[in-house]
Amino acid sequence: MRADPYEGSEGLGVELAEGILQLRLSRPAVRNAIDDEMMVGLIDALDAAGRDERVRAILLSGEGEHFCGGADIVARNKESAVRPQVGSIQRRVPSLAHRLIPLLCSVQVPVVCAVQGWAAGIGLHLAAAADMTVAASGATFWEPFASRGFTPDSGATWLLPRRIGLARARELLLFGRRLSAPEALDWQLVDRVVPDADLAAEAQALVEEIASGPTVSLGLTKWLLHAGASVSLDEQLRNEAFALELSSRSEDFREGLAAFRDRRPPAFKGR
């Protein structure tokens, strides 16, 4: 854990302003491929955001022409005098990529993802794990695992069947099909597609809109949607009752009722 989880690091820009936590992948020379330092920075920022009442929404984006070309396996696998021990991947991944994706899914504020250019491997999985993903019309989504001779990671085999269905997940993961942005929209891998020139403005407008909403209620609704995928109806109804109890005690709930009574737009404060 960094002393300041919002400090950022080489390859990762982090900024909190007006309730929006901006996470920007910043290695454009290598298509924003994510190295271990960036992974730790993302994990620390998301973990802190889950406890920080100032954070009302998160925007995840990439600098330059591409969102994210995947994990930086080239840098990790450069020739070395010391060969990694058997089991090194199995020990390392749970604290990096396999911690990042669950945090993105479970952090109790909405996450908006903006995708341009390539979204490959973990880049695709970040987009799939976000609550709202908007893609530039020229974006391309790709799972490179089969063509590189190794198996998927970072939640691919969990996220994709739930988001696009098992048959289409097989097509991406077993055959390495490259998916255009319009196809990704048709497959429900992304939520919106806009002209390339409009991507930044559209993503910013979306995150500002959701950041102005009832943060407690939205966070609990996000939790309910994820929890409901793996529990019985009876258990989910208990979850809904629990969330309703919490959300109905928030200041924003009272504001929502007052706005309805006064026939005016609500002014939520995220509390």
CA distance 148 to 221: 38
* HSE-up (13 A, CA, CB side) for residue 49: 33
Amino acid at position 14, single letter: V
What domains does the chain contain, in order, with CATH numbers?
12-211 (3.90.226.10), 215-262 (1.10.12)
CA distance 7 to 14: 6
Looking at 136-189, list the stretches that DSSP marks H as alpha helix, in order from N- to C-terminal side. 145-148, 156-164, 166-175, 181-186
Report phi then psi at 112, rounded to 5: -105, 135
pLDDT attached to residue 4: 82
Q: Write the DSSP string, 88-148.
A: HHHHHGGGTHHHHHHHHHHSSS-EEEEE-SEEETHHHHHHHHSSEEEEETT-EEE--HHHH
Spatial contact of 214 and 268, defined as CB atoms under 8 Å apart: yes
pLDDT attached to residue 234: 97
> How crowded is residue 198: how many other Cβ atoms within 10 Å of its Cβ?
13
How confident is the prediction along the chain (271 residues), in pLDDT tens digits per residue? 667 888 888 899 999 999 999 999 999 999 999 999 999 999 999 999 999 999 999 999 999 999 999 988 665 555 455 666 766 676 667 768 889 999 999 999 999 999 999 999 999 999 999 999 999 999 999 999 998 888 899 999 999 999 999 999 999 999 999 999 999 999 999 999 999 999 999 999 999 999 999 999 999 999 999 999 889 999 999 999 999 999 999 999 999 999 999 999 999 999 9
Sheet harboring 132-136: ordered strands across?
12-17, 20-25, 57-62, 111-115, 132-136, 192-194
Cα 53 from chain centroid (whole Å): 19
- Nearest in space to 270 (alpha carbons), one of 5, 47, 49: 49
pLDDT attached to residue 75: 59
Q: Which 8-state DSSP code applies to residue 10?
A: T
Q: Which residues contact 123 (CB under 8 A, 6 or more apart)?
A: 32, 34, 62, 67, 68, 69, 70, 115
What pTM does this model have? 0.91
pLDDT attached to residue 79: 47
